Amino acid sequence: MRIFLCLNYGSSSLKHALFEGQKQILRHKRVFRGEGLSQALRELAKELPISPEVVLHRVVHGMEHKSPMPIEGQSLEILRELARINPLHNSIALEGIEQSLELFGKSKHYAIFDTDFHSNIPESARIYGLDYELYQRGIKRYGFHGISYSYLLRRSKQVLEKTKPNLIMMHLGQGCSVCAVKEGVSIDTSMGFTPLEGLLMVARPGDVDAGVILHMLRSGLSVEELERRLYRESGIRAIAGVSDFEELLTLKRNGNRRAILAFEAFLHRLLKYVGAYWFFLEGKVDALVFSGGIGENSPEVREELCKRLAFLGVELDQEANRKNQEVISSKGSSVKVLVIQTQEELEMVNIFVESNKII
């Protein structure tokens, strides 16, 4: 059995897991600050009980590139270009990849892209109303959280005992998105050319009138400052002044006006996308799927959303919801409601194995 090391890069953390085939040997998360990724990787290399044959790297933005992509001379240049498009996520992954090539020089390295899961989204859902030349150059909707959605789809098929389900999947964490799956294929998702579009997020604004961005630039903000604000200082943090969702809920329960506003705005945007995707699926929804740190751990968010969907036949089992069980819908609900703990590192291995790569 091959030994896989999966590296999942965050802005301030490194999740890593070691697998023998598809059996997990170990999994850990290291938190770092500043330039600490390099140190975290060096410590990881020293502590691994066995040397990996294959190192799989999660890369958020892959544009049209397919997974798994072998990492070598030419593909490294592709990854550097992708880091210029999505600096928040891809630049960190690029740093990790370059370091890992030195630390695990005898291993084969592959990139697994979040965008790949959404490759079948139709052109009509991908294109922006901008110069067609920009579309031809790749300025279009790509969607993200694809590795997570791939796992959620896999697990949903097992729970529902259905090979081609219709799903509305929600990955709600620091970054938040919704994905519509029709007959087992992604047909639309809330994030776009970058992970800034769509839902209101913890530190990102989601959908914003482009005129607001122009106004901010005309007000004297540099592109670099604007980028920092959009990726790190917007969303719930900007409205309520907190960057932790549990803290937001505590403030909301205590009657804090801005926390209540932020929560309602978050829920409003979520309901808006779920409703649109329900329509896209022509009302034939097999399940709503919650995942991510908020989706998996916040009964309050799930309850408040499902209350607003009650007219469509959605009904929760309150006890199951409170306990974060995998199936939280009542027996009388017309739609299953699932809470699935996503496993991105395992799914990276699944994607690799199913690609039939020979090394």
Tell me which residues are annotated as active site.
114
Rounded-to-10 torsion of CA 78, 84, 90, 92: 110
Sheet hosting strand 54-59, strand order edge to edge: 23-31, 13-20, 3-9, 54-59, 108-113, 69-70
Do 339 and 297 touch, CB atoms closer than 8 A? no
Do 355 and 332 touch, CB atoms closer than 8 A? no
Rounded to an integer, what distance in angstroms lies between the CA atom of residue 167 and that of residue 277?
Answer: 9
For residue 256, what are its two tokens? 């804090």
Amino acid at residue number 67: S
Residue in 355, 235, 238 with CA at minimum distance from that of residue 294: 235
DSSP-derived letter for residue 331 is T
Do 89 and 37 touch, CB atoms closer than 8 A? no
List of long-range contacts for 309-317, beta carbons under 8 Å, 24+ apart: 309/271, 309/274, 312/278, 312/283, 314/288
Do 90 and 60 touch, CB atoms closer than 8 A? yes
Backbone angles phi, psi at 120, to 5 degrees: -95, 5
Residue in 179, 175, 150 with CA at minimum distance from that of residue 342: 150
Q: Which of helix, strand or coil describes residue 329?
A: strand
